[in-house]
């Protein structure tokens, strides 16, 4: 199960991504927002981060206007590694090297077809471990400082 959420700036793209994943038979749980009414991206990041941290969902997708605010907010949750991705290569590396458990996109930045490719690439990629695992471990050591 994939968790997805957005603020108003990411609402439209979130809908397109959900349609795309549904068409592929990938289960998605929508944590809102459910309208284009103005919403604060830190609030919107919370349910998706919690769903990933609890194990209810394996990975998450967050969308705001630029992807910046919602990624900054998500990365404040201990254990979240949220990667803002605007291209396919970053989406692959986000999982292979950084073991990102959430990717973030900008609804006002990234077109829907590119967004679909970014999401597909991220979901198809696997963490490579090894030296990358050591580096990811160091990220979480910083969290505990």
Active site members = 64, 97
Q: Judged by CB under 6 A, does residue 68 bind ligand RB5?
A: yes
User: Which of the residues 69 through 128 are near ligand RB5 (CB under 6 A)?
Assistant: 69
Exposed / middle / buried, residue 62 (Cβ in 10 Å: 0-12, 13-18, 19+): buried
Which helix (H) or strand (E) segment holds residue 12: the answer is helix 11-23
> Closest approach of Cβ 129 to ligand RB5, in Å?
32
Q: Judged by CB under 6 A, does residue 42 bind ligand RB5?
A: no
* Alpha carbons 142 and 52: distance in angstroms, whole number: 20
What CA dihedral angle connects 32, 45, 119 and 83, to 10 degrees? 170
Residue nearer to ligand RB5 on the CB measure, 69 or 99? 69
* Tokens found for residue 56: 């209810």
Q: Judged by CB under 6 A, does residue 65 bind ligand RB5?
A: yes
* Alpha carbons 33 and 81: distance in angstroms, whole number: 22
* Tokens found for residue 36: 């284009």
Q: Judged by CB under 6 A, does residue 66 bind ligand RB5?
A: yes
Q: Judged by CB under 6 A, does residue 64 bind ligand RB5?
A: yes
> Closest approach of Cβ 102 to ligand RB5, in Å?
15
CB 6 within 8 A of CB 55: no
> Closest approach of Cβ 141 to ligand RB5, in Å?
28
> Closest approach of Cβ 11 to ligand RB5, in Å?
9
Interface residues toward ligand RB5, by CB under 6 A: 7, 9, 41, 64-66, 68-69
């Amino acid at each position: 199960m994939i968790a997805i959420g957005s603020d108003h700036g990411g609402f439209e793209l979130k809908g397109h991504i959900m349609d795309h994943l549904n068409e592929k038979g990938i289960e998605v749980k929508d944590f809102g927002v459910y309208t284009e009414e103005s919403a604060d991206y830190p609030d919107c990041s919370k349910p998706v981060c919690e769903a990933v941290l609890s194990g209810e969902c394996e990975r998450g997708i967050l969308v705001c206007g630029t992807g910046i605010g919602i990624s900054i907010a998500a990365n404040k949750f201990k254990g979240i590694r949220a990667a803002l991705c605007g291209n396919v290569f970053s989406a692959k590396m986000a999982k292979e090297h950084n073991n990102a458990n959430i990717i973030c996109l900008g609804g006002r930045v990234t077109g829907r077809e590119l967004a679909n490719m970014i999401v597909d690439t991220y979901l198809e990629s696997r963490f490579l471990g090894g030296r990358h695992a050591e580096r990811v471990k160091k990220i979480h050591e910083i969290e505990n400082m």
